Chain A
Amino acid sequence: MRLLIVEDDAPLASGLQRILEAEGHAVDVTARGEEAVLAASQEKFDLVILDIGLPQMDGFEVLRRLRAGPGGGGPMPVLVLTARDAVDDRVRGLDLGADDYMVKPFAMPELTARVRALLRRSQAHGGPRIAHGPLQLDTVARRAFLRNEPLELAAREWAVLEVLLARVEKIVSKEAIIQAVAGWGDELSPNAIEVYVSRLRSKLEPAGIKIRTVRGFGYMLEEYK
């Protein structure tokens, strides 16, 4: 994948570059907002990591111009970095079209996890297939495969799994799962969700796919190792 880092602090920029290159990405770095806007207009990037506190043209302006460009910057996800924690900054960034938001300083594993999640999400937009380790979902044909063997999933199990797959390594509340599955007409209780999750577990855990329970909150589909 091709990534663009827009960060004016040289040590941080080089650190990010090396970590993401170690993940197998091609990484370009610029310290100036104007250059980032120009580069994005001429070349295709799969993801932009954008610092808000840039000299001259700040990150908000860069984000506005990226999204105002032809095709709104396409599906290109933007991960915003900021040293400020004001809630307004966060809201403003997301309003301008940022896909995720991290406050400095952050742990590198968290950054790489978020980059992976954003790339997976934007790639999923392009294709009907979702992969998670040995699990593959064909969202058009609505067919699932585990270790290349067909996997039988009830409609609601499928819906719950889709919600969890969209947010790997992120905790998802039971309410959020109920909302995502609520299109099915009748009322769903949190207990019903527990039943679907336990069925999913019995089907997926033998293949090393783990769904963790977060007590009193919801579930998290762990990254496949």
Chain B
Amino acid sequence: MAGRSLRAHLLRMLLPPIAAALALGALVSYFPTTEPATHAYDQALVDIGLALGSHVRVMQTEYRFELPAAVEQVLRTDRFDSIYYRVMSPAGMEIAGDPGLPAPPGDAVAHDAQYNGAKVRVVSVQSPCGRSTCTVLVGETMVKRERLARELLLQSIFPELFIAIATLLIVWFGVKRGLRPLARLSDEIKSRSAGDLRPIDAAGAPEETQPLVSALNGLLTEVSAASRNQQRFLADAAHQLRTPLAGLRAHAELALAQPLPEASRAQVEQVHQATIRTARLANQLLALARAEPGARSTTSLVDLKSLAEGEADAWVHQALARDADLGFELAHAPVDGDAFLLREALANLVHNALEYSPRGARITVRTGRRYDGSAAPDSARKGGSAFLEVEDDGPGIPAAERARVLERFYRVPGTPGTGSGLGLAIVREIAASHGATLAINEGMGARGCRVAITFPHG
């Protein structure tokens, strides 16, 4: 199941709120800084208004505004902005200036407005004239103010941007780092072999993953208990089958030891052979089930040489019965493995060689270690790839059939005898469960068959 990434999910949850909070922070810190600046510019306009107000003369009921041209020139000159003014009598009559400059509404002292097609800031100043007060409006275009606002915005945005990027990076790496224990956990599970049902080591895993680890361990315990039960069942089934088969075989052999009419003898011989095959099949099925991935096998250090030596006596007697020349070339070949399964693999290979070779065949069982070019064979007792192989000079297996003979119950068409077609499939399963490779080739002089199992470099 390809689930959503927890990391992406966490980032999706965290980043938008953090981005929104940062934007809000930028706004909140921007407005307080523009406020005093605006205020200072307004104050300058008020000063101009007061200066203009002092030039109003009261003559009886008439108001006269006398401003020398030079002063007006100075007043109206600004490096960036155009300045407007409008002087009104206490009754609201125009006295001088730019008529139409909009007055702030109501009691307001300053406002933003449109004038001459541009945005202007207008302040209203009450100036004494006679016993009453005149109103002086001073307006100014917004170039300076907007420039200041831009500068202030930029100045506040850089630190905010820095904080935003830093926060992003911290969240990105923090989430990655925070999820590291989960990654470690999955690595531990991934690196396990299929048959490894030991509980996961919960020590060092963070508290939040403990429920997951203990749930997994619970499952592993159940699976390994089920696997043990299956093993026990198989062992019991083998016992239950083998004892009656031993009885059957004993009586068949007893009958064959007595004088029998030719027809009956042939039939009893059939029963005898069927009994032997059935016993072998029971053994093979047991081995196949035990080599199954997940079946808990008992692993120990097994020397393939001693394994072969232990079985050699039985094989030699089987070979004598078939007139075969069974020989050995045994060198130490230590392997971490299941002794029962390895013995079964070797027994199947020897059995095949005996079964499918003509009388008088020469069969050789080899064990040892192969060294690739890099390590000299005598440089150390350890190392090298352990192998076992069985070679015969029988009919061999045609190259085209070599892959198929590894399938369960497959037999090369036209093969004599009564094999089940399980032998090599079992050998393949056993090799696979030990991480070993199985190779089928011709024997010496391109004759016969050589089957080799090579174990991983030790």
Contact = CB atoms under 8 A, between A and B. Distances in A.
Interface in A67-109: 81, 83-87, 103-109
Interface string B223-255: 000000000000100111111111111110110
A24 B392 CA distance: 41
Contacts of A110: 317
Interface stretch (A7-15, A131-139, A199-207): A7-15
B245 A15 contact: no
Nearest to A173: B309
Given A16-B250, A215-B328, A84 B238 contact: yes
Given A104-B242, A217-B330, A85 B340 contact: yes
Interface in A1-60: 9-13, 15-16, 18-19, 22, 51, 53
B254 A9 contact: no
Contact of B326 (A9, A106, A215): A215
B339 interface: yes
Contacts of B330: 216-217
B364 A216 contact: yes
Contacts of B254: 15, 18-19, 22, 108
Contacts of B175: none
Interface in B345-369: 364
Given A86-B340, A214-B328, A215-B328, A104 B243 contact: yes
B313 interface: yes
Chain A interface, DSSP helix/strand/loop, else mixed: mixed
B249 A11 contact: no
Contact of B327 (A11, A13, A22, A215): A215
A72 B279 CA distance: 36
A24 to B, nearest CB: 14
Contacts of A169: 317
B325 interface: yes
B327 A105 contact: no
Contacts of A106: 246, 249
A130 B246 CA distance: 33
Interface residues on chain B, size class? 35 or more
A103 B243 CA distance: 10
Interface string A130-155: 00000000000000000000000000
Interface residues on chain A, size class? 35 or more
With a 10 A CB-CB cut-off, give which of A13, A84, A105, A215 has the most chain B CB atoms.
Answer: A105
A177 B239 CA distance: 37
B237 to A, nearest CB: 10
A156 interface: no
B316 A83 contact: no
Given A84-B238, A107-B253, A15 B247 contact: yes
A118 interface: no
A64 interface: no
B129 interface: no
A220 interface: yes
B207 interface: no
A6 to B, nearest CB: 13
A172 B381 CA distance: 26
Contacts of A215: 325-328, 364
A108 B253 contact: yes
Contacts of A18: 254
Contacts of B339: 87
B326 A214 contact: yes
Contact of B249 (A85, A108, A217): A108
A12 B241 CA distance: 12
B362 to A, nearest CB: 9
Interface string B373-417: 000000000000000000000000000000000000000000000
Interface string B196-239: 00000000000000000000000000000000000000010011
B251 A217 contact: no
Contacts of A107: 249, 253
Given A84-B235, A86-B235, A214-B316, A53 B243 contact: yes
Interface in B407-436: none
B257 interface: yes
A83 B242 contact: yes
A170 interface: yes
A53 B241 CA distance: 12
Contact of A11 (B247, B253, B257): B247
Contacts of B135: none
A171 interface: yes
A105 B251 contact: no
Given A108-B254, A217-B327, A12 B340 contact: no
A22 B243 CA distance: 22
Given A108-B250, A216-B328, 17 more contacts: A9-B243, A11-B244, A12-B243, A15-B251, A15-B254, A16-B250, A19-B254, A81-B246, A83-B243, A84-B238, A84-B239, A106-B246, A106-B249, A171-B316, A214-B312, A215-B364, A216-B364
18 contacts: A9-B243, A11-B244, A11-B251, A12-B247, A15-B247, A19-B257, A51-B243, A83-B243, A84-B239, A87-B339, A103-B242, A105-B245, A105-B249, A169-B317, A173-B309, A214-B312, A217-B327, A217-B330
Interface of A: 9-13, 15-16, 18-19, 22, 51, 53, 81, 83-87, 103-110, 169-171, 173, 212, 214-217, 220
| Leading 5 A-B pairs by shortest Cβ distance | A215-B327, A15-B250, A12-B247, A11-B247, A105-B246
Interface of B: 235, 238-251, 253-254, 257, 275-276, 279, 309, 312-313, 316-317, 320, 325-330, 339-340, 364
